[in-house]
Structure 1
Amino acid sequence: MVESSEERAESGTQAGNKRARWAEGRELRRVGRLARRIEAFSRRHGGGAEASVLYLGERGARIVLVAANGDWGDLVAPSHALAVRAVERAGVPVHEDLTGELAARMRTGGYEWKRMAGIQIGGHANT
């Protein structure tokens, strides 16, 4: 049986629709996973967390979460739009930039200081 061009076009449209639905479902699952992690961070730190979504270029976006007590953490999302959707779904306020009051509230611990020091603290020489 020979398939007509109309039948092939309809078959292609159905396959395209299936791929679009699959991609949309995948995006919704990613948003859900990120939102659950954001909610868990907020609960773990007594609620009141706030977020800032920062571009990482082609890599996506960084979600920086800052709790009321100054503890902070971050997540990476595949796109800025997806990151914003996840933060909004989690019910956490979003700031445009990580500056001012939000940045001042961040408390940096020993782990972060050691990571920022890099080669200066116990690392190999940079030569």
Structure 2
Amino acid sequence: MADTQVDADTQADEKQATRDGKRADRLARQIGSFAKEHGGAEAQIAYLGEKGARIVLVGEDGGWGDLVAPSHVVATSAVEKSGVTVHEDFDGEFAAKVKTGPYEWSRMAGIQLGGPKNS
């Protein structure tokens, strides 16, 4: 009986590892596409708790975006597979590369400056 449970657990772990590998591959392709479109890219991974991890991307042209991975492990694997530089924190020179436009400023300001409500 115990061997059956061990086998089932092993199979479940293998299925999860396969799913995580496919997710990491898909995210790596998306990161690569972003990098190609923006002349290169750098990343930072942030924990989102139970929801997973956020991969923040900043292109060499100042464009930015993000992706969400189901776990920090998947996010780390995706970033490693994509080959982009990873930063521990989103600050300093890395944060200064982000270029924002009127849309972002109005969204950040919200109703305080007459922008759209953040709802």
Displacement of 1:115: 2.0
Unaligned runs of 5+ in 2: none
Considering only CA atoms, is the larger Rg found in Structure 1 or Structure 2? 1
Q: Distance in 1 between matches of 2:62 and 2:15?
A: 39
Residue of structure 1 aligned with 2:76, choices 84, 88, 98 = 84
Describe the superposition over 1:82-113 as per-residue Cα deviations: whole angstroms up to 9, x where unpaired: 21111111000101111111111100122212
- TM-score, scaled relative to structure 1: 0.82
Amino acid at match of 1:105: K
Q: Percent identity?
A: 53
Residue of structure 1 aligned with 2:18, choices 12, 19, 25 = 25
Runs of 4+ in 1 over 6 A off after TM superposition: none
1:72 paired with 2:64, answer yes
Unaligned runs of 5+ in 1: 1-7
Q: Distance in 1 between matches of 2:86 and 2:38?
A: 17
Amino acid at match of 1:107: K
Displacement of 1:122: 4.3
- TM-score, scaled relative to structure 2: 0.86
Aligned pair count?
A: 116
Residue of structure 2 aligned with 1:61, choices 53, 64, 70 = 53
Describe the superposition over 1:29-59 as per-residue Cα deviations: whole angstroms up to 9, x where unpaired: 111111111011001112x211111222232
Describe the superposition over 1:6-44 as per-residue Cα deviations: whole angstroms up to 9, x where unpaired: xx2232222222111111111111111111110110011
- Cα separation, partners in 2 of 1:14 and 1:87, compared to 1, 3 Å: same
Amino acid at match of 1:51: A
- Counterpart of 2:5 in structure 1 is 12
